[in-house]
């Protein structure tokens, strides 16, 4: 059976409506350098000299320059010095502190993230020349007020538990053309090391997927430093995103339309082999590795000859209306023939067990069907191989994440994938029709 119309019952959680700011303690300096950040009011904007400054050879340059009133927030703050080394850099603002990183030569400092639009900033930088003479320069400026803005929302709910296939999904309120800048604003912390990548599904949806399924019981923290990024020409993001969630027990279903059985794996072990009935000819359950989306007991379904029929213990895995569900009316056919309208029919006993274990993001792989899966009919990120997924990134870089945060890495430097399906990853070409 299918639900009436396949209407979305899960919506993007609106988390971009209020501004959220974050301080990232990632000051990449060397011993003896102080890169400070504090709240405060704007300074005078004048050039100041410290001890013996009049004869110092060090020359400090701050961008944006003093007095700028329309600084591009996506460019951040840059401080450079010639004929010397930076001793300290501080950026004060009426908003949140600004952090940054210093190059190994101690000659260039740059803010780590974009600045907040429509805000005043004061930068004070101190440098020392080879003779020990000190110079200090101050710049006060204001970032521009965007004429066009964009917001973003994240699907995951704070503190919720998801399946091992769950992607991180971000939806933008308008088109994004500066995709790489958006990807570089993302940070992940994971309690267990993982490798993944970002993927653009059109120009308003950005998703993150691990190279293989998430390890069970991984804690995930996500930050998107979007505020102030120019996401398209003249269009700026105006809110950061933050979310923390966890990956639960591994629950994986492999449903064969030809054997009429489903292999259920739980906690990385075979849990059961259950008789099922899938879509009859013309209503074939389509191949592919899908993810569970939502569940209901009952779900009202409509189809040929029935309207708003209550179906118990139903777990959705496509937007078009396919579920794993209790089909007490087809128990005699389960394990022998396909009689459904596209759903996976199970006995009341097995359907209740699966329903009680399922959370959003549990993989459901359909095999043996004469019908291929349709992209975006559900969460179909696992239709793609790792290399296909990488090609959907604007940076074409992989992301390594762990307890200390995330970094971009060249995919060519990663070890070969040793994970196997169905427990650790999806099978290549899983959405193709069976011959």
Active site residues: 325, 343
- Nearest-angstrom CA–CA distance, 235 and 258: 51
- Nearest-angstrom CA–CA distance, 73 and 208: 25
Work out whether strand 194-200 and strand 269-275 pair parallel, antiparallel, or are unpaired.
unpaired
Query: Quick check: 29 and 99 in contact, CB under 8 A?
Result: no
Residues 6+ apart with CB under 8 A from 300: 3, 4, 308, 309, 310, 311
Query: Quick check: 222 and 198 in contact, CB under 8 A?
Result: no
Q: 401: which 2 tokens?
A: 């994440």
CB neighbours (10 Å) of residue 27? 17
- Nearest-angstrom CA–CA distance, 108 and 104: 9
Cα angle: 273, vertex 274, 276; to 5 degrees: 140
Query: Quick check: 277 and 255 in contact, CB under 8 A?
Result: no
Query: Quick check: 287 and 372 in contact, CB under 8 A?
Result: yes
140-149 burial code (b ≥16 CB/10 A, e <16): bbbbbebeee
Q: 20: which 2 tokens?
A: 């959220």
Residue 261: strand pairing partners: 275
Work out whether strand 168-172 and strand 205-210 pair parallel, antiparallel, or are unpaired.
antiparallel
3-23 burial code (b ≥16 CB/10 A, e <16): beeeeeeeeeeebbeeeeeee
Q: 424: which 2 tokens?
A: 């650790």
Q: 56: which 2 tokens?
A: 């110092």
Tell me if residue 330 falls in helix, strand or coil. Answer: helix
Going from the C-alpha of 338 to that of each of 173, 315, 361, 371, 374, the distances in angstroms are 42, 19, 26, 14, 20
Query: Quick check: 61 and 91 in contact, CB under 8 A?
Result: no
CB neighbours (10 Å) of residue 308? 10
């Amino acid at each position: 059976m299918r639900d009436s119309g396949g209407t979305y019952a899960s919506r993007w959680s609106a988390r971009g409506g209020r501004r959220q700011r974050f301080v990232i303690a990632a000051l990449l300096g060397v011993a003896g350098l102080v890169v400070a950040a504090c709240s405060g009011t704007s300074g005078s904007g004048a050039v100041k000299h410290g001890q013996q400054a009049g004869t110092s050879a060090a020359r400090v340059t701050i961008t944006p320059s003093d007095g700028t009133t329309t600084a591009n927030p996506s460019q951040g703050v840059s401080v450079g010095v010639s004929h010397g080394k930076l001793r300290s850099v501080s950026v004060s603002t009426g908003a949140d502190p600004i952090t940054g990183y210093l190059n190994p030569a101690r000659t260039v400092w740059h803010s780590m993230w974009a600045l907040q639009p429509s805000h005043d900033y004061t930068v004070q930088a101190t440098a020392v020349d080879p003779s020990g003479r000190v110079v200090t320069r101050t710049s006060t400026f204001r970032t521009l007020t965007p004429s066009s803005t964009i917001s973003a929302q994240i699907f995951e709910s704070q503190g919720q538990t998801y399946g091992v296939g769950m992607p991180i999904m971000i939806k933008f309120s308008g088109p994004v053309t500066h995709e790489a800048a958006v990807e570089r604003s993302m940070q992940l912390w994971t309690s267990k090391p993982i490798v993944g990548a970002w993927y653009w599904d059109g120009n308003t949806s950005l998703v993150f997927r691990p190279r293989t399924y998430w390890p069970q019981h991984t804690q995930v923290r996500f930050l998107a430093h979007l505020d102030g990024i120019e996401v398209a020409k003249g269009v700026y993001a105006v809110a950061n995103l933050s979310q923390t969630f966890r990956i639960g027990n591994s629950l994986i279903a492999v449903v064969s339309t030809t054997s009429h059985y489903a292999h259920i794996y739980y906690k990385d072990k075979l849990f059961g082999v259950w008789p099922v009935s899938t879509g009859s000819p013309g209503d074939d359950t389509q191949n592919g590795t899908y993810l569970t989306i939502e569940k209901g007991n009952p779900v009202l379904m409509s189809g040929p000859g029935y309207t708003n029929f209550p179906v118990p213990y139903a777990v959705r895995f496509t937007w078009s209306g396919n579920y794993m569900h209790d089909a007490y009316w087809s128990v005699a056919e389960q394990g022998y023939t396909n009689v459904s309208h596209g759903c996976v029919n199970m006995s009341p006993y097995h359907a209740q067990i699966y329903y009680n274990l399922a959370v959003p993001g549990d993989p459901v792989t359909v095999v043996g069907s004469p019908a291929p899966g349709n992209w975006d009919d559900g969460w179909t990120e696992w239709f793609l191989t790792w290399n296909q997924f990488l090609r959907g990134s604007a940076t074409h870089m992989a992301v390594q994440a762990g307890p200390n945060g995330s970094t971009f890495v060249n995919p060519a430097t990663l070890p070969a994938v040793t994970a196997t399906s169905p427990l650790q990853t999806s099978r290549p070409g899983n959405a193709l029709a069976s011959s």
